[in-house]
Amino acid sequence: MALFSTIPSYENSALLRNPNIGIDKSPRPRTSNGSLRLISLKIMATHTQVADSSSVQPLLTKPLEITQLPIFQFDEYLSMKAKKVEKALNEAVPLQYPKKIHRAMRYSLLAGGKRVRPVLCLASCELVGGDQSLAIPTACAVEMIHTMSLIHDDLPCMDNDDLRRGKPTNHKAFGEETAILAGDALLSLAFEHIAAKTTKVVSPERVVRAIAELGSAVGSSGLVAGQIVDVLSEGKEVTLEELEYIHVHKTAKLLEASVVCGAIIGGGNEGEVERMRKYARCIGLLFQVVDDILDVTKSSEELGKTAGKDLASDKATYPKLMGIEGAKNFAAKLAAQAIEELAHFDAAGAAPLYCLANYIAHRQT
């Protein structure tokens, strides 16, 4: 399949055809005096034809515009939440005997990164009325699982990558055997951490639901499913629907679980949890679409990881199947659908999640 060949329209997406994931058509929420609470959106994708990857413009021409939203200092919010998560992660994995395995775990877990998943977990917990302290252990668990997936994904038997977050990958720093074990240890610690640190402050029923949600997201019907289909698809013709399956499972499922678990731990009702799920499923796939675009438009130095790997290994990506413009348009539609789900919540309370959707759409690394 030729690079950047364009399919007719992103409407072919299986995700966007699914009415359970699309824009909700129920009546808009009203304020206490009965008037409609309106949140208008303007989402635009660039339409410049791209001759080569070096001239690619940002994903969207300008940020998502959300009117009637209180002024919100997102950078400050993101920094504050990330610091709380960083502190909790540092405490969760002390350097103890056997030191080599714990050094390897800490090396990747504390290597920085955007901490998008744990911040989403905390934000969704607070949106449904919970205190962020309730969700800190779950937020840490999500990041442990994400880190495990990166360690294993970088292994020679998988993507065979040498660079992650601007540093040598775990197996390059500690050896393959230790890297595999470090990933395994982080995965098991994630579930132990939720169970040990949350049951005293959250009902056992909600803790079990969160653990089940997270387990499903990472297992053979989640991340692992996406990974194996991705591995088996290398060098083969892949349809858009197959590509979507890979990315929904490999990337979006864990992002979805981050948001859903936060809402569960925070005490959200079924309706709130499901709206958060729809929001998260859209931004989860959005994250991967943007990732695919960045892989062909940014350098390794800019990304902090090896750029162009998907192209070099002949992997299917959204730019490859849809063209860069088609991928941008698809990303814009996913962002719009995610924002639409938040219109059913209090605008001030949902501000972090509005901004996180915008951040994911416009990230440059």
Distance CA 354, CA 335 (A): 9
Residue 308 lies in a domain: yes
Q: Which of 119, 353, 144, 363 is nearest to 258 (CA)?
A: 119
Residue 214 lies in a domain: yes
Residue 3 lies in a domain: no
Instruction: Give the count of domains, the chain.
Output: 1
Distance CA 108, CA 105 (A): 6
Residue 207: is its pLDDT beyond 70? yes
| DSSP labels, 59-79 | SBSSPPEETT-----HHHHHH
- Look up the CATH number of the domain holding residue 273: 1.10.600.10
Across 33-37, 84-88, 315-319, least confident range: 33-37
Across 55-69, 129-143, 182-196, 218-232, least confident range: 55-69
Q: Residue 52: pLDDT band by 50, 70, 90 thresholds?
A: very low
Give the model confidence (pLDDT) of 116-136 as tens digits.
999 999 999 999 999 999 999
pTM of the model: 0.79
Give the model confidence (pLDDT) of 235-294 as tens digits.
888 999 999 999 999 999 999 999 999 999 999 999 999 999 999 999 999 999 998 888
Residue 264 lies in a domain: yes
What is the chain's mean pLDDT, rounded?
81
Residue 244 lies in a domain: yes
